[in-house]
Structure 1
């Protein structure tokens, strides 16, 4: 059994993705002695292979009214961006029904209002963390390119931009006259493109690994290969929560944060967190381009996000509702290629690197789960869906304040885990 009997403030973080590590970083800012546990290592889950977008103007509810026309069709289209396996799985279909129930204008506005406080603070939180990250890996401001084959395809994207502006999020949008100046890998089939300013991106895997190193350099204990089986509440014998490990080890600290992504329900349910979290799995791979990619590219109609990544071009997409530990399905990679290949040039799609699937934690109402549970000293941080990278630092900063002061900042008030 291990603990910190001489430290005034101790915390154990379960999960070494962006959310867990950012929480650890901001707890260190408040003088905590921090231990981070993960069954694999930093950025091993959905923090590794995503697009790395830090885009307040694109932090949106996943469920919108278009799902009522797109969703049913997608269920029977193996190439659709949205994928739900055609098998008998009552819990998954029950979740999907709740998810679809939020695809209304009123629910969209309600969820968007809940996302705004974290979205508005996300870039400032990155500024704080960037100070301890190598310059080459820090968040980078750059124009984002949104491209369309046909003008009619832009309707949904422009509606989303209007929606975020209506909720107070700046979205600097202008039409691009020469697409080659920003995205030379796009083919002549692209007839319309917009430039979205005021956003940033990172290379997520290297950034999160660098964040882990920064936390360790500041005195944290980082322990990999630790499979946590339970967080036991405080008792008369131990006056603090205890993290139980598969190995039999018990780790005691004053506070515990469950931040293990799509696996969160397995540990958090005992502590009163009942809202379901399902794995909305995303896929990505990277390719070389004849002309080096400098700016992120978004193909909204096909729901594909592309980002410069270590000298190549990362192409990411799909929302596949399956178990978080199921293997990669090559057909989903092939579907992304079929949808994007005609819109690109100067790319050999047969030479792919870093094929990946990651389990993004999705809630049915589109809001995260951040805050205290019904168990004293036990907190959760997760359920960010596609936005764990972008919202991770802002989440960690707000949660660290709650853990020290007992007062929930307004940024996470809509994310109350016991709702």
Structure 2
């Protein structure tokens, strides 16, 4: 249930194991949070949003008019509960534990994604040119180096570099050199067009006999308490031996219908896609993250994707011109010669986030035992999709044996 990157990755891994799979979604494949995300496959740099540094940033993040973090307080108990849980998770010990878990999961995801790409040969503007995370002041750069040392101890290959080295790695940053306090460079990071991956996966899965029921809404689950018997849809009940709930933020109401509360809330992000300049030194080839702006710049063939920001504004899919202009203005400032900045696409997506940043994967206590969850990936959905999909295989293998 769900045809975003997480649902399709789940379908791929299950089909590879010989399961007969049906994919159901109310829209087209990749039409939601997967359609125009930040495009980075951030396997080695996974610092969770819930971090102790948030406390000193909080007044500026919430009150500044140009803040990349926006909170619109609503009469929504789920928003309050999520926000309080998020603040409770903004501790060094929680961040360290989350980082360790995410890095292990991301490494498994890298292997699974690479295997899928090799088997399917999907054309998705894939690149493996590395990533620079830029810091604008010494305080934030020093804090980033602490995170880097933690990640390095857990197996990541990264280095702290100065502004001059940044420009050597990515010449398109030449005009920013004076504004860069330092950066964390990860040479192994990748990027790809997530929507193209979704479209390619649908084609590959159909060729392998996977059934697709798109434009079909899942409206409920038929349960006898111990087992899910069928998914209720707008075109009738769909029976199965096991069910995977991978509907991003849509997983929450469906889980609630069987008495399970998922700590998942929409974290809204935006992107603008523009043409990349033909001058090979004008537009970046290395993926770049601007830590202060919470924005990413990713090269996708002859396009440049600018994405970022995080808003807790409920289920609001609108795309305000002002937010897109913020992205474009950042592009013009950081990479002034990279594009004419006429948008090819403007997008907003609701990333399904948990307070800690850890996705919800597999069985949940008290839920029907043949219902598996795969949601709550936040901004790392593309990065972690194939790792969490493989994590579903073990409980299904156990089910087969019993």
Same fold (TM over 0.5): yes
User: d(CA) in 2 for partners of 1:117 and 1:178?
Assistant: 29
Task: Give the Cα separation in 1 of the matches to 2:138 and 2:177.
Answer: 9
Is residue 79 from structure 1 mapped to residue 72 from structure 2 by the alignment?
Answer: no
The structure 1 residue matched to 2:156, chosen from 163, 170, 184, is 170
- Kindly state the Cα deviation for residue 99 of structure 1 after the two structures are TM-superposed: 0.5
Are 2:88 and 1:101 aligned? yes
> CA separation of 1:342/1:311 partners in 2, compared to 1, >3 Å: closer, same or farther?
same
> Is the counterpart of residue 198 in structure 1 residue 184 in structure 2?
no
Q: Please name the residue that 2:389 is paired with.
A: 396
Q: Give, in whole Å, the separation in 2 of the partners of 1:181 and 1:63.
A: 32
**1:41 and 1:178, CA in 2 relative to 1: closer, same or farther beyond 3 A?**
same
Q: Distance in 1 between matches of 2:335 and 2:43?
A: 27
| Mapped pair 1:160 → 2:153 | no
Change in CA separation of 1:32 and 1:52 when aligned onto 2, cut-off 3 Å: same
Segment drifting more, 53-62 vs 129-138: 129-138
2:374 maps to what in 1? Answer: 381
Q: Distance in 2 between matches of 1:71 and 1:341?
A: 27
CA RMSD of aligned residues (A): 2.4
Contact persistence 1:154–1:301 (CA under 8 A) = no
> Which residue does the alignment assign to 2:309?
318
Give 1:153 shift. 4.3
Output one character per residue of 1:234-269: Cα deviation in whole Å (capped at 9) or x when no partner.
489xx852110134x111011111100011111112
Give 2:356's match in structure 1, choosing from 355, 358, 365: 365
Relative to structure 1, the CA distance from residue 114 to residue 400 in structure 2 (aligned partners, 3 Å threshold; closer, same or farther) is same
Please state whether the residue corresponding to 2:29 is helix, strand or coil: coil
Q: Distance between the aligned counterparts of 1:285 and 1:350, measured in 2?
A: 9
Match of 2:344 in 1: 353
Paired residues, number: 390
Aligned residue runs from structure 1 range 38-187, under 5 A: 38-134=25-121, 136-137=123-124, 139-166=126-153, 168-173=154-159, 175=161, 177=164, 179-186=166-173
Deviation at 1:197, TM superposition (A): 1.1
Q: Deviations over 1:369-408 (max 9, x none)?
A: 111242131111010111111110111111023212249x
Q: 2:232 aligns with which of 218, 222, 244?
A: 244
Residues 150, 190 of structure 1: 8 Å contact kept:
no
Aligned to 1:23: 10
Q: What residue number does 1:260 align with?
A: 247
Question: Does the 8 Å CA contact 1:53/1:200 hold for their aligned counterparts?
Answer: yes
Hey, what's the Cα distance between the residues in 1 that align with 2:330 and 2:73?
A: 22
Q: Please list every run of 5 or more consecutive structure 1 residues that lacks an aligned counterpart in the other structure.
A: 1-13, 408-419
Matched, 1:212 2:212: no
Measured in 2, the distance between the counterparts of 1:241 and 1:256 equals 9
- Check the 8 A contact 2:332/2:341 in 1, yes or no: no
CA distance in 2, matches of 1:147, 1:240: 47
The structural deviation recorded for 1:50 is: 1.1
How far apart, in 1, do the equivalents of 2:70 and 2:106 lie? 27
Give ranges in structure 2 of 5+ residues lacking alignment: none
Q: CA deviation at 1:87?
A: 4.1
Q: CA deviation at 1:32?
A: 0.8
Deviations 1:152-174 (A, max 9, x none): 442333232123223x1313225
Give me the whole-angstrom Cα distance separating, in 2, the residues matched to 1:60 and 1:172: 13
Shift of residue 363, structure 1, vs aligned partner:
0.8
* 1:289 Cα deviation from its structure 2 partner: 3.6
* Other-structure match for 2:214: 224
1:412 paired residue number: none
TM-score by length of 1: 0.86
Aligned residue for 1:250, secondary structure, equals strand
CA distance in 1, matches of 2:15, 2:338: 44
Per the TM alignment, residue 54 of structure 1 is displaced from its structure 2 partner at its CA by 1.7
Contact 2:272 2:328 in 1 (8 A): no
State the TM-score, normalizing by the size of structure 2.
Answer: 0.89
* Contact kept in structure 1, 2:39 and 2:192, CA below 8 Å: yes
Does the aligned pair in 1 maintain the 2:167–2:174 contact within 8 Å? no
Look up the SS of the partner of 1:186 in the other structure.
Answer: helix
| SS at structure 2 position matched to 1:380 | strand
